[in-house]
A and B are shown apart, each in its own frame.
Chain A
Amino acid sequence: MSTLEIKDLYVSIVTEQGSKQILKGVSLTIRTGETHAIMGPNGSGKSTLASTIAGHPRYTVDSGSITLDGEDVLAMSVDERARAGLFLAMQYPVEVPGVTMTNFLRTAKTALDGKAPSLRHWTKDVKQAMSQLRIDADFAQRNVNEGFSGGEKKRVEILQLELFRPRFAILDETDSGLDVDALKVVSEGVNREHAKGEMGTLLITHYTRILRYIKPDFVHVFVDGRIAEEGGPELADRLEEEGYDRFAAATPAVEA
C-alpha cells in the first residue's frame, strides 16, 4: 500500500509577461487501488498538476509538497521520480526520431528495474501487451511515436503503463482525440493494470465519457488552479449534465 500525497501545492510558469501562477493550493491524497478523476475546464491547471508531479522543468513549485510514502518527490530528478514508481501518460507524447520503440522500451524497463529484463519473457510481454492494445507488431521497429496518429500515440502510452507497472499512474487527458473504439481499448488497458491492485490512478480529463469505461472512486473538479468541488462518481454524472458553467460563473468570486 502506497500513498501519493500532494499538499497545498502552488506552481507557476515563466511566460513572456513574467511569472504566472497556475496552481493555487492543491491538496490531494491517492492510495494504491484508488482511481481519482480530475476534471475541469481548459486552463484550470489539470495538466500543470500532472507535469509538476512528473517533474517537467517548465513548472516551478513555489510552495507545498509532493510525497510518495513520505519521500520528497520534489527533491527527485525526473528519472528518479519514474524509478520511484510515478508514471505520466502524456497528453502530447513527443516523437523521438532515430530511437526505435523496441530499443526505447527495453532501455526504460532496464532503467526502471535496475536490471535488464529477461529477453525471452520481455519479448513475449511486449508482444502480448501490444496485441491487447491492438498496436501493429511493426510498431516495435518504428521510431518512438514517429508518424504515429494521435490515437496510436495514446495507445503506446498505455502500452508503457502496462509494461512498466508503476505504483502511481497519472493519465493526462489520455482520452482526448480518441474515437470510441480506441477509447475502449485504452481504458481496458488501464483497467487491466488497475485490477492487479498495485497501482493508484490519477485520471485527468476534460470530458466525462472516459468515466464510462474507467470508474473513478473520487472526482475532483479543478477551477482556476484549485479544487473547487470534490465527491464520488456521482459528481461526474452531474458534470455531464450541467457542464462547467456553474464553476465558470464562480471563478471571479474565487479570484477576488
Chain B
Amino acid sequence: MAEATQMNNEASTAGPAGAVADEKARIGAPSSAPAVIAGFSEEGESLSELNTGSIQHGLKKHSHGNAPVVPEASRGERLKSYNLEDFAPLTGREEDWRFTPLNRLRGLHTEPLTGTGPSVQVSGASNIKVETVGRSDARIGSAATPEDRISAAAWAAADGATVVTVPANTVADAEVTVTVSSADKAPAAQHLIIEAGAFSTAVVVLDHSGSATLAQNIEIVVGDGAQLTVVSVQEWDDDAVHVSSQQAKIGRDARFKHVVVSLGGDLVRLTPSSVFTAPGAEVEMYGLYFADAGQHLEQRLLVDHAVPNCKSRVTYKGALQGQGAHTVWVGDVLIRKEAEGTDTYEVNRNLLLTDGTRSDSVPNLEIETGLIEGAGHASATGRFDDEHLFYLMARGIPEQDARRLVVRGFLTEVIQQIKVPALEERLALALENELAAGNL
C-alpha cells in the first residue's frame, strides 16, 4: 500500500505576527539538538549534511568550505535568477528536488540543452496574435524569473520564444491550442509567452505529445480585468521527460484559471505559480494526474499573495496504479504582510488504486498577517473508500464497474473545469484508457 503520506504544515493557522515570526525563526534555525532518527529531524525527512542547498540569508550553501547549512526559512526567500551559474548543480538533496529521480531526467540537468526540441504550432482563435521572437524581445522575462536550475538552464538555452497575445478588450473567438509535439529526444529548451491584454478573454490549451526531453519556461501575463484560462495537457509518450515552469503574473481584478492534466511521460515535473500583483484578482488552479507503473508525476505550486484582497483556490487530484507509480504534490501558499483580505484554500486528494504506489503530498501555508478572510488547506491520500464501493454495489453495480465509476467521478471534477467540450471529451476518453490499462 502507500509507502508514505506526508503532511508538512509550516504555519497552518493565522496568528499574531509575533508568533509567526517566532515560528519561522525556529524552523529556520539549524537544529542544535541531535536528530532522534538518523536522517530525520522534527520537521520530517532531513536533508543530509551533504546537502548544501541554495542561497539563504546571504549564506552560500554551495560555497566551498564549511558554510553552515541553512534551510529555506520561507518560500518567499527562494533564489530567483536568470543566471544559470547562480544555481548549484543538482544533487537530488535539495528541498525542491528531493522527490525527483534525477537519474531519469535523461541529462536535462547536466547536458547542454541543444536539441531541436518540440515544434510549436498555434491554432484556433483568429483574433489573437502569434509571434516567434528572438531573445532580445522585451516581453521575455516580463512574468517569470527562474526559481530552479533547470528553469534557469532553459532560460539560458532558448533561442527565442513563441508569444501568443490576446489583444486588450478582445474576446478570443475560439480556444487557442498550442500544440507542442516532438520526436526528438535530445535535451532541449523552450520558451513560451502567453499574454492576455487588459479586459481580454481567452482559453489557451498547451497540448504536449510525442517524445521529448524538454526544459520549458512558460510566462503568463494576465492583464488587468482579463479572464484567462490556461490548460496544460501532458499526453507524452511513455519515455518523455518534461520539466516545466509555468509562472503567471496576475493583474488587477483579473480572473486566471490554470488546469494541469498529466497522463503521459516517464517523468513530468511542473512548477506552476500565480503571483498577484494588484488587488481584486482571483485564481483557480486545478490539476489532474494519473500515474501508471513506473511513472513519476510531480507538481509544485506556488500562490503568492503579495497584495491585498485576492482570492485563490487550488484543487489537485491524482490517481495512482501499478508498481512504482509515484506522484508528488507540493502546494505552497504565501500570504505576505501586505496581503490583507486574502482568501485562499488549497486541497490535494490522491487515490491509490493498487499496491506499490507512492504519493507524496505537502501543503504549505505561510501567513504573515492575521487580517485575512480565510486560509486553509487539506490533503488526503487513501484507497478507495469502501463505503462508496458498498453503496454502489448495494445498487447492483458490479465491483469493477463501481470502482471505475468512482475513479471517473473522482477525477472528472477537474476535467469539468476545462470548459472546452472537445478537449473534455478527449481527456475523458484518455482516462477511460488509463482505467482499462490498469485492469480495474
Q: How far is the CB of B380 from chain A (nearest CB, A)?
A: 12
Contact residue among A82, A93, A99 (Cβ-Cβ distance under 8 Å from B393): A82
Q: How many residues on chain A are close to B (CB under 8 Å)? A: 29
Q: A56-B390, A96-B391, A98-B411 are in contact. Are A107 and B397 (CB under 8 A)?
A: yes
Pick the most buried of A55, A79, A104: most chain B CB atoms within 10 A of its CB: A79
> Which of these binds chain A: B138-146, B258-266, B298-306, B399-407?
B399-407
- Is B413 an interface position by the 8 A CB rule? yes
Which chain A residues lie closer than 8 Å to B402 at the CB level?
A: 79
Query: At the interface, yes or no: B99 with Cβ under 8 Å from chain A?
Result: no
The reply to whether A79 and B408 contact each other, CB–CB distance below 8 Å, is: no
Contacts of A58-77 to chain B: CB distance below 8 A:
77
Nearest opposing residue in chain B for A113, CB measure: B396
Q: Which of A83-111 contact B (CB under 8 A)?
A: 83, 87-88, 90, 93-94, 96-99, 103-104, 107-108, 111
| B382, chain A: closest CB distance, angstroms | 13
A108 CA to B396 CA, complexed, in Å: 6
Query: Roughly how many angstroms separate A77 CA and B397 CA in the complex, as a whole number?
Result: 11
Contact residues in A for B401 (Cβ distance below 8 Å): 107, 111
Task: Please state if B409 and A143 are interface contacts (CB–CB under 8 Å).
Answer: yes
Q: Least Cβ distance of B316 to chain A in Å?
A: 15
With A57-B386, A94-B387, A107-B401 known as contacts, the answer to whether A77 contacts B409 (CB < 8 A) is no
- Taking a contact as CB atoms under 8 Å apart, the answer to whether A96 and B411 are in contact is no
Partner pick for B398 among A56, A79, A96, CB 8 A cutoff: A79
Q: A94-B387, A94-B388, A107-B401 are in contact. Are A79 and B409 (CB under 8 A)?
A: no
CB of A90 within 8 A of CB of B391, answer yes
Identify A96's interface contact among B392, B396, B399, CB under 8 A.
B392
Distance between B13 CB and nearest chain A CB, rounded to angstroms:
27
Q: Decide if B413 touches A97 in the complex (CB within 8 Å).
A: yes
A82 contacts across to B, CB distance below 8 A: 393-397
CA of A103 to CA of B392 in the docked complex: distance in angstroms?
12
Contacts of B345 in A (CB 8 A): none
* Residue in B closest to A99 when the chains form the complex, CB atoms: B409
- In the bound assembly, the distance between CA atoms of A143 and B408 in angstroms comes to 12
* Inter-chain contact A98/B393, CB cutoff 8 Å: no
Q: Are A79 and B391 in contact (CB under 8 A)?
A: no
A164 at the interface (CB under 8 A from B): yes
Distance in angstroms from B366 CB to nearest chain A CB is 29
Q: How far is the CB of A115 from chain B (nearest CB, A)?
A: 12
A79 close to B397 (CB less than 8 A)? yes
Contacts of B398 in A (CB 8 A): 79, 111
Complex contacts, A104 vs chain B, CB 8 Å? 392, 395, 405
Residue in contact with A107 in the complex, picked from B390, B394, B405, B413, CB distance below 8 Å: B405
**Inter-subunit contact B409/A83 (CB<8 Å):** no
Residues on A with C-beta less than 8 A from B396 are: 79, 82-83, 108, 111-112, 164
Closest to A114 in B: B396
Which residues on the B side are within 8 Å of A108 (C-beta)?
A: 392, 395-397
How distant is A193 from chain B, measured CB to nearest CB, in Å? Answer: 16
How distant is the Cα of A55 from the Cα of B386 in the complex, in angstroms?
Answer: 13
Whether A52 sits at the interface, judged by CB under 8 Å, is: no
A160 to B408, alpha carbons, bound, how many Å? 22
Residues of B within 8 A of A97 (CB): 409-410, 413
A78 near B412: Cβ-Cβ < 8 Å? no
Nearest Cβ distance between residue A107 and chain B, in whole angstroms?
6
The residue among A87, A104, A108 with the most chain B CB atoms within 10 A of its own CB is A108
Q: Once the chains bind, are B412 and A55 in contact (CB under 8 Å)?
A: no
Contact among A77, A98, A160 with B395 in the assembled complex (CB-CB below 8 Å): A160
B242 to chain A, nearest CB (A): 27
Q: How far is the CA of A77 from the CA of B388 in the complex (A)?
A: 15
**A96-B388 contact in complex given A107-B401, A107-B405, A143-B409, C-beta closer than 8 Å:** yes
| CB of A164 to closest CB in B, whole Å | 7
Task: Contacts A98-B412, A108-B395 known; list 17 others, CB within 8 Å.
Answer: A55-B394, A77-B399, A79-B394, A79-B396, A79-B399, A82-B393, A82-B396, A87-B394, A90-B391, A93-B391, A94-B388, A96-B405, A97-B413, A103-B405, A107-B401, A111-B395, A111-B397
In the A-B complex, list the 3 residue pairs whose CB atoms are closest, starting with the nearest.
Answer: A98-B409, A82-B396, A108-B395
